[in-house]
Chain A
Amino acid sequence: MRQSLFAIFACLVGCLLGCAKPEEKKGVDTPEKQTGPKQTIGVSLLTLDNPFFKVIGDNITAEGLKHGYDTIVVSGDKDVAKQSNQIKDFIVKKVSAIVLSPCDSKSIIPVIQEANAAGIPVFTVDIPCNEPGVKIATQIATDNYGGGKEAGQAMIEALGEAGGKVAVLHFKQAESCLLRVKGFTEVIDAHNASSTAKIEVVAELESSGAKDMGYKAAEDSLQAHPDLRGIFAINDPAALGARAALEKANKTQQVQIIGFDGQPEGKQAIKEGKIYADPIQFPDKMGIQIVDAIIRHSKGEELPAQMLIPTSLYRKADAEADPELK
């Protein structure tokens, strides 16, 4: 009995560990690379819970495969100690490039320095690490400043001739959101200088980029400004939280929402008219661009310090034509 249980256990462990994919099995060898060990890209993203990062990871894997790279995608789970260990494992494995979105731009420095010392190029995606003493091949991110400008345009378009009071649901800890709001206010200011239909930003409230906080912040600003006409939320969850507050206050006709991101839930809300428009990000393009940057780096080309991917404004008409939405 004991032996048989042991055997079952051994099989179980064997099967489970069989999930491990030996690298030889994956990918197609291009002729010039058959001579050496397989080229691998190690990717550690902030979290894979967020579809945004999942899409980045999937696209790096797919695009890498086309060019003969194996890709390992792991989730840092917003835990910088865990992410550091993942990077250290990549270094031991001698991957040919490391892609990461740092869980903490400061605490990740030592391990990036280790990768630098091992001669492995490091690419950052979405979240930068602009710290002294680390060498980053290039940073790939959404053009948040440009996206903020688009959001400003959308707000002007949504409010039309009347103009009116606008609230911003902010997330000030995030560099990217600061840029979004900066672009937004610049466009609004420029508009006010030339037009009679003034748009006044009356409140900038913290939303943490989350639904519950966005809901509270929108509720509070409706109390303070009953004649509010527009809300710019720095991401989709905050925008959807604000929408819930509008529904509760029965002000969905009076107040227009501009979001940001273009996550599936946000796109669906645009289709249903709950959000007026979103400047959307393109995580798929980011993934493809990263692989392109890795190849260009390996070819010895000069890379810019930062590669920005522009956003594009997504309105109801785009949502109705979007095949991904039911």
Chain B
Amino acid sequence: MFLVLVLLCAFFSVATFSEQSPTGEAAAKQLASVIEQQFGSTPRVLIVAREQPGDSEFASSLEQKLVTSGAKVHAVVKGEPRDAREALVKISSSGEQLDVIACTPAAAAWLVFSDLKNDFPMLDNPQIVKPQSYRWPNFLKAANVLNIANQIAVIAIIAIGMTMVIITGGIDLSVGSLIALSAVLAGLFIRDYAGATNASAIGMTSACVAAILICGLIGAFSGAMITLFRIPPFIVTLAMMLVGSGLAYLLAKGESIYQIPDSFVWLGRGASFVNLPNAVVLMLVLYGAAQVLMSRMKLGRYIYAVGGNREAARLSGVPVRSVLMFAYIASALLAGLGGVIMASQLKSGSATYGNMYELYVIAAVVVGGTSLSGGEGEMCGTLIGALTIAVIQNGMNLTNVESYTQKVVLGLVILGAVLLDKIRHGE
């Protein structure tokens, strides 16, 4: 399965190989020397960049270098095309002239510079220069790799619980609805009990924990129905899917709940540990824990045993009911956590979240090599499965595949990935 992921990554790296626009310190240095070579040491310069960290650093650093080398920097524009036009008008109306306009690659493409000769004849036809571009796949940029991990974090975290449930031979269709329910509950608690936009960290944490625990209760209810009354998991969780979604809509009254402090986005969008998004760190920690649970602990062995042969497990003294209860509660708790992360990413809670997520989660588990008939499966496999789906979705967005085709391709690739795995294992 890992092979499929690697193949996909390789494919998208090639497909998104494109020109990159450098900004920042290095680009400024390179451009400063180009300007000096082409226009001598005392050119009249206008520097234009967007208002954005990389661009801004480029502009300041270039200005400093040019000024030290003796150039006359008329103005530094950090903003939008409109600001550039204003600067040009100002320079032009004060009777000054320009030799060169130094731009970031993005700013160089602005149409405000497309017809300088006619628009600003007084400027003495300045040249547009920009840092030299290089070629590198969009897909492999560090920002995009983190982007992929962050986008899949919610699905991957829920897939941990789903893997356990599927290994026991069951299924949990309620996770998508629990995402919505948990996001709405967390939003409601923060708005109504923790002080809305002034909520403290403790208030927000308790609100989230409460939301997750309520999801856990729903999981316990499903588990009880399945173990005590022997109703098939498909039916129980299908019912809970409707109940959860309906409750979320009822509680949110069909609107999104957004009266939440800005600091709430820490979990979903913050990055406090070596630039890794917090949601990704949380995902990795949970996978580590789940891997240990499944491969090194008694409970993990029991989960496999129940899925492999329930009767044999019961006869050999495995507490089948408790194991099943554990799996459904864990799945619901993790779905609740996923809902909280999503609420944090979007800084609001809404009943529309998580729609169809159960299918993506199940797809991640199955692509990861877990057998739907139970008794077989690995946590690492599920993580790889989730990443595979994320890579396909992200890669198709980066290569301009339109939405309908994306669905077709995703479906076929999921099928193909499982098929390939079967073939490689000689079945």
B is a partner of A = yes
Contact of A2 among B130, B397, B423 (CB under 8 A): B423
Q: Which residues of A contact B111 (CB under 8 A)?
A: 295, 298-299
Interface residues of B in 353-403 (CB under 8 A from A): 353-355, 393-403
Contact between chains at B347 and A19 (CB < 8 Å): no
Q: A81-B346, A88-B151 are in contact. Are A32 and B81 (CB under 8 A)?
A: no
Q: In the complex the two chains form, what is the Cα distance from A60 to B258 in whole Å? A: 32
In the complex, whether B420 has a CB less than 8 A from a CB of chain A is: yes
Instruction: State the Cβ distance, A293 to closest chain B Cβ, in Å.
Output: 12
Q: Which residues of B contact A48 (CB under 8 A)?
A: 403-404
In the complex, whether A143 has a CB less than 8 A from a CB of chain B is: no
Contact of A104 among B19, B350, B403 (CB under 8 A): B350
Please name the residue on chain B nearest to A110 by beta carbon.
B347
Contact of B420 among A6, A104, A107 (CB under 8 A): A6
Q: A23-B18, A110-B269 are in contact. Are A81 and B345 (CB under 8 A)?
A: yes
Contact between chains at A173 and B416 (CB < 8 Å): no
In the complex, whether A63 has a CB less than 8 A from a CB of chain B is: no
Contact between chains at B254 and A121 (CB < 8 Å): no
Interface of B is mostly: helix
Q: In the complex the two chains form, what is the Cα distance from A73 to B133 in whole Å? A: 26
Count how many chain B residues have C-beta atoms less than 8 Å from C-beta atoms of the other chain: 74
Contact between chains at A302 and B82 (CB < 8 Å): yes
Interface residues of A in 91-137 (CB under 8 A from B): 92-94, 96, 103-104, 106-111, 117-119, 121
- For B81-119 the 0/1 string (1 means CB < 8 A from A) is 111111000000000000000000110111110100000
Q: A13-B413, A300-B112 are in contact. Are A92 and B85 (CB under 8 A)?
A: no
In the complex, whether A272 has a CB less than 8 A from a CB of chain B is: no
Query: Which of B49-57, B160-168, B188-196, B217-225 binds A?
Result: B49-57
Q: In the complex the two chains form, what is the Cα distance from A174 to B404 in whole Å? A: 27
Contact between chains at B398 and A93 (CB < 8 Å): yes
In the complex, whether A21 has a CB less than 8 A from a CB of chain B is: yes
In the complex, whether B256 has a CB less than 8 A from a CB of chain A is: yes
Please name the residue on chain B nearest to A298 by beta carbon.
B111
Instruction: State the Cβ distance, A152 to closest chain B Cβ, in Å.
Output: 29
Contact of A9 among B342, B400, B419 (CB under 8 A): B419
Please name the residue on chain B nearest to A16 by beta carbon.
B409
In the complex, whether B143 has a CB less than 8 A from a CB of chain A is: yes
Instruction: State the Cβ distance, B128 to closest chain A Cβ, in Å.
Output: 9
In the complex, whether A78 has a CB less than 8 A from a CB of chain B is: yes
Q: Which residues of B contact A37 (CB under 8 A)?
A: 18-21, 105, 109, 133
Q: A13-B416, A84-B346, A92-B138 are in contact. Are A73 and B402 (CB under 8 A)?
A: yes
Contact between chains at B82 and A300 (CB < 8 Å): yes
Residues of A whose CB lies within 8 Å of any CB of B are 2, 5-6, 9-10, 12-14, 16-17, 19-24, 26, 32-33, 35-37, 39, 48, 70, 72-75, 77-81, 84-86, 88-90, 92-94, 96, 103-104, 106-111, 117-119, 121, 173, 295, 297-302
Residues of B whose CB lies within 8 Å of any CB of A are 7, 11, 15, 18-21, 50-53, 55, 80-86, 105-106, 108-112, 114, 130, 133, 138, 141, 143-144, 147, 151, 154, 254, 256, 258, 265, 269, 342, 345-348, 350, 352-355, 393-406, 409, 412-413, 416, 419-420, 423-424, 426
Give me 15 A-to-B residue pairs in the complex whose CB atoms sit less than 8 angstroms apart, sorted by A's number. Answer: A13-B11, A35-B108, A36-B133, A37-B19, A37-B20, A37-B133, A78-B352, A79-B352, A80-B352, A81-B345, A117-B52, A173-B254, A300-B112, A301-B82, A302-B82
Q: Known pairs A107-B346, A300-B84; list 6 more (Cβ under 8 Å).
A: A26-B400, A36-B105, A81-B154, A81-B354, A300-B110, A301-B85
